[in-house]
Amino acid sequence: MSDPFEISPSPLRSGILVAQRQYDLQDDIMPTSSRDRILNKLREARRPFEDAPPRPAAYMPVTQLTDTSPDALLEKFTEMLVGLSGEVYVVEGDQAACDKVLELLASHEATHILAWDFAHIPINGLDVAIRDAGIEITQPTLQDDSRPDVIAKIDGAQVGITGVDAAIATTGTLAVSTGPGRGRIPTVLPPVYIPIITLDQLVPNIEAWLADERADGMTKMRDRANVAFISGPSRTGDIEMELILGVHGPGVVQAVVKR
């Protein structure tokens, strides 16, 4: 069999083939490239970080509260939300809660409000009381075909009213999840937001709330579209560090806590 490198008698052609053969032989002698040698050295070097320890069964809370009694949680929640420019009103029972909500609506001269389905708002008879006061209630649901008409109708609503999933004491935060009958629009569109809270919905911190949800198998969360954490009115700061409330959401948050 003839030598495969004797393809052409041309000196130039022969020179190229000989050079190629020498290059192939060099590759056989030094099988690793510069890249391989660098990577091998990195692998042989000491690892920069130790392996992470196993995840703990419970994490230390970022915010802590020694006294977790209902009254202590309410006091802390009130302190924190007021510090965020929010307001908290504590009432006893359904009738007092209805009266307080109507008082707040009157102070804003509300004629049209957005709300959840009242089955998710823990004040018995609130929807009847609001309608009896001559205030229109819309429970907005945006569908593709009706979206423009719904947006046009709800644009002028003055107040949004919803329930909450939890009120987090150490940060003055509301955990609000959405789902059927409990849309997100009432919490973000109107200039005034009135969340209705019951005393047993107060938790020390977000870790405690998540632990309760996990203990329940996260069944509520699996049925929800999303969860929002609301800490006071919408706050926007510009490059000159001027703080403005209500630019990207309600500028007034008035929480009503029913004992």
Query: In a structure prediction context, what are the per-residue pLDDT tens digits for the chain, which is 259 residues long?
Result: 555 445 455 554 555 444 455 545 444 445 568 888 888 888 777 666 677 778 777 767 777 788 999 999 999 999 999 999 999 999 999 999 999 999 999 999 999 999 999 999 999 999 999 999 999 999 988 766 677 788 888 989 999 999 999 999 999 999 999 999 999 999 999 999 999 999 999 999 998 999 898 888 888 888 888 899 999 999 988 788 888 899 889 999 999 999 9
Provide the token pair at 82. 């007021």
Neighbours of 101 (CB within 10 A): 25
Q: In Å, what is the CA distance from 230 to each residue of 48, 105, 142?
A: 40, 21, 22
**Which of 136, 194, 204 has its CA nearest to residue 168?**
204
In a domain, 204, yes or no: yes
CATH code of the domain containing 216: 3.40.50.10420
What is the reported pLDDT for 37?
A: 86
In a domain, 120, yes or no: yes
In a domain, 15, yes or no: no
- Looking at residue 182, the DSSP 8-state letter turns out to be B
In a domain, 237, yes or no: yes
The per-residue DSSP string of 236-252 comes to EE-TT--EEESSSS-SE
What is the reported pLDDT for 31?
A: 53
In a domain, 23, yes or no: no
In a domain, 245, yes or no: yes
What is the reported pLDDT for 233?
A: 96
Nearest-angstrom CA–CA distance, 169 and 72: 9
What is the reported pLDDT for 167?
A: 98
- Report yes or no: 100 and 254 within 8 Å, Cβ to Cβ: no
Strands ordered across the beta sheet of 136-138: 87-91, 252-258, 192-198, 159-162, 112-115, 136-138
In a domain, 40, yes or no: no
Interstrand relation of 192-198 and 159-162 (parallel, antiparallel or unpaired):
parallel
What is the reported pLDDT for 113?
A: 98
The 3-state DSSP class for residue 218 equals: coil
What is the reported pLDDT for 146?
A: 72
- Looking at residue 225, the DSSP 8-state letter turns out to be S
Domain encompassing residue 184: 70-258
What is the reported pLDDT for 42?
A: 81
What is the reported pLDDT for 61?
A: 73
β-sheet bridge partners, residue 256:
89, 196
Cα torsion angle, 175, 245, 61, 78, sign: negative
The tally of domains found in the chain comes to 1
- Report yes or no: 187 and 137 within 8 Å, Cβ to Cβ: no
In a domain, 143, yes or no: yes
The gap from C-alpha 147 to its chain's centroid, in whole angstroms, comes to 24
